[in-house]
Amino acid sequence: MLQASDLRGIYAPVITPFQPNEELDLASYEKHVEELLRHNIHGLIVNGTTGESPTVTWDEVAQLFQVTKDVVAKSGKQLPVIIGTGTNSTASTVKRTELAGELGADGVLIVTPYYNRPPLAGVIEHYRRVSEVGVPVIAYEIPHRTGLRLAADTIKRILDLDRVIGIKDSTGSLDLLHELVQSGTKPVLCGDDILFLSMLKHGATGGILASSMIRTGTFVQVYELAAQGQFDEAEKLFATLVPLIQKLFQESNPAPIKWVLTQQGILASDTLRLPMSPISEGLQQELKELFANAAR
């Protein structure tokens, strides 16, 4: 079972590929996971936001998880596979977490309940009930998507729950990380790609990074250098990733990533499910130029 001590390194939030008719493309998905496993990543997240979780059914999640486990087993590697099960309904989140446990998930990623803006007592109770399922929980704080920013004291109370083993911090600053580290927190994983190295410098133990779908090996190298205290080298290497990160978040995630993976021949199609839509022609051209310049 996943432990807090396991929350180190690069956790890759995998893409969910679709055929042009919007059905799952499991062949492309298998190729995508195999490509990620060529690098020394530390874990995989199925059905995160980067995997278009709002439009993926639970039956599809189960299929994706099974393919993931099969590819990991075939690779001979041992690394955790986590499922995103958080919704803005506690009953639904508990049920999905139970199902994830039955599938054999090593842990679950639980986002702060979104849209309905519950009181803080309700958020804490939400996490408490999910944690009682028995599957290790990674809390996920992302205010710009949920419409609710939790105070550090509230997050500390969530992290004090026995089966909550850490948190993905996508707050957009280092403020929460600083407060948590000062109080001897459970692991904090960076969820804002552009802040990855800064957060590692200030106590984060790794990251769940959408951009790592593209230059996976380089992200792993940045982490490894930082873990060894070689921050000057890590800074130089991370600087090569910054233009890519900026372009990949210029339009809504994961559309730019899907387009790049399709251009690389890993995915057969960059199809997304509505209301997500493909990237603009302008961004396509900018990404082409970015990769052409990087190849020189």
Q: Quickly list DSSP for 195-249.
A: GHHHHHHTT--EEE-GGGGTSHHHHHHHHHHHHTT-HHHHHHHHHHHHHHHHHHT
pLDDT, the chain, mean: 97
108, β-bridge pairs: 83, 137
Question: Where in the sequence numbering do the catalytic residues fall?
Answer: 140, 168
Reported confidence tier of residue 73, pLDDT bands at 50, 70, 90: very high
Which residue type, as a one-letter code, is found at position 227?
A: A
Residue 102 has pLDDT above 70, yes or no: yes
Q: Are 136 and 106 in contact (CB under 8 A)?
A: yes
The two structure tokens encoding residue 39: 């690098």
The predicted-structure confidence for 5-53, as pLDDT tens digits, reads as follows 999 999 999 999 999 999 999 999 999 999 999 999 999 999 999 999 9
Return the residue matching tokens 């704080």. 141
Mean pLDDT of 85-112: 98
pLDDT band at 1 (very low <50, low <70, confident <90, very high): confident
pLDDT digits (tens, 9 = 90+) for 223-272: 999 999 999 999 999 999 999 999 999 999 999 999 999 999 999 999 99
Quick one: pLDDT band at residue 295, thresholds 50, 70, 90? low
Judge whether residue 203 has pLDDT over 80: yes
Output the pLDDT for position 38.
96
Is the per-residue pLDDT at 100 higher than 70?
yes
Confidence of residue 296 (pLDDT cuts 50, 70, 90): low
Ranges of beta strands (E only) in the chain are 9-13, 43-46, 81-84, 107-111, 137-141, 164-169, 188-190, 206-208
The yes-or-no verdict on residue 183 having pLDDT over 90 is no
The model's confidence at residue 185, banded by pLDDT at 50, 70 and 90, is: confident
DSSP state of 166: E
